[in-house]
Structure 1
Amino acid sequence: MSRGTFNRAILIGRLGKDPELRYTTSGIPITSFSLATGQSYKDKEGKVVEQTDWHKIVAWRKLAEICGQYLKKGSLVCVEGQLKTRYYDDKDGVKRSVTEVVVETLQMLGAKMESDRLPEPEVPVAELVVETVGNEGMPF
């Protein structure tokens, strides 16, 4: 069944709450968090409608510890991984399923926290001189 198939999810979004870092009984770190992605469209009256989708994200081992340490509610991240569905019985014995992105790579995007920001440049941007190089002599 795996021949000719592909399972890859790439999402850019913001965390809906602080990530939850916990450990399995064998001591393996696991972090889970919800990730919001959105899009907008115009309805038939021309009004812009915002639509948000929520995704369950899971990270394991060292990546889980990094997520637990550096991410927080509102963090902008790009996650890449496989879409996995797992099955379990809830507290009432009802069979349930949940689909999650199991993270293989994560990139933190956006500005750092205000206290971590770099100092403003001493030279105003308007005073900076940018030298451009023409494309004369380029073979294309």
Structure 2
Amino acid sequence: MNRVVLVGRLTKDAELRYTPSGVAVASFTLAVNRPFANQQGEREADFVNVVAWRKTAENLANYTKKGSMIAVDGRIQTRSYEKDGRRVYVTEVVADTVQFLGRSGSNTAEKQQGNSKGAAQQKDASKTAREAFSKPPEMEWGNDDPFGGEPIDIDDFDNLPF
């Protein structure tokens, strides 16, 4: 079985390229913290080379940047090539799936600007969701209610766990 699951941060922006046949491929290095400290009490990290293909590669290039936290599920692959008369061996993770876990630590001004925009968008989204989940005025909750109870009024969708 060849399965790898990694959670870490991008050490730099993913490098997006296209094969001659037009298939997207992204290469990047993921810094993965070790679960323990060394003898000096410092946390160390492993730097793992990862390759993603097709839509996953394009999404990485478009929606992540240096410092972005991601999870990678994939497999280890080895390959070799000839360079200047010498055989070079490469071991890398080929990503099957990638999940974006969080934002990187960008500067404070960007965060504040993003937060004010995000707050306005979030309020609009909450209002839309509230309207979508509210009981239509023409609908009556009777004995046909499959949930068997009174409707629950949820005022703040921001507190929902999903």
TM-score, structure 2 as length reference: 0.64
- Which of 2, 6, 20 is the matching residue for 1:11? 6
Contact 2:13 2:64 in 1 (8 A): yes
Could you tell me how far 1:41 is from its partner in structure 2?
Answer: 1.7
Query: Deviation per CA, 1:54-76, whole angstroms, max 9, x where unpaired?
Result: 00010001111111111110000
Structure number having the greater helix percentage: 2
**Aligned match of 1:73 in 60, 66, 80?**
66
1:48 to 41, 56, 67: 41
Unmatched runs of 5 consecutive residues or more in structure 1: 1-5, 123-127, 129-140
Distance 1:111 1:36 in 2: 15
Q: Which residue of 1 aligns with 2:57?
A: 64
Higher strand content, 1 or 2: 1
Deviating above 3 A after TM superposition, structure 1's stretches of 4 or more consecutive aligned residues are 115-118
Are 2:93 and 1:97 aligned? Answer: no
Shift of residue 52, structure 1, vs aligned partner: 1.4
The answer for unaligned runs of 5 or more in structure 2 is: 124-155, 157-162
Would you say how many aligned residue pairs link Structure 1 and Structure 2?
114
Bigger radius of gyration: 2
Which of structures 1 and 2 has the larger relative contact order (alpha carbons within 8 angstroms, sep 6+)? 1
Is the aligned partner of 1:31 residue 2:26? yes
Root-mean-square deviation over aligned CA pairs = 2.3
Deviations 1:86-136 (A, max 9, x none): 11111x1200111111111111012477344442999xxxxx9xxxxxxxx
Whole-angstrom CA distance in 1 between matches of 2:18 and 2:103: 30
Q: Secondary structure in 2 aligned to 1:119?
A: helix
Change (3 A) 1:26 1:104: same
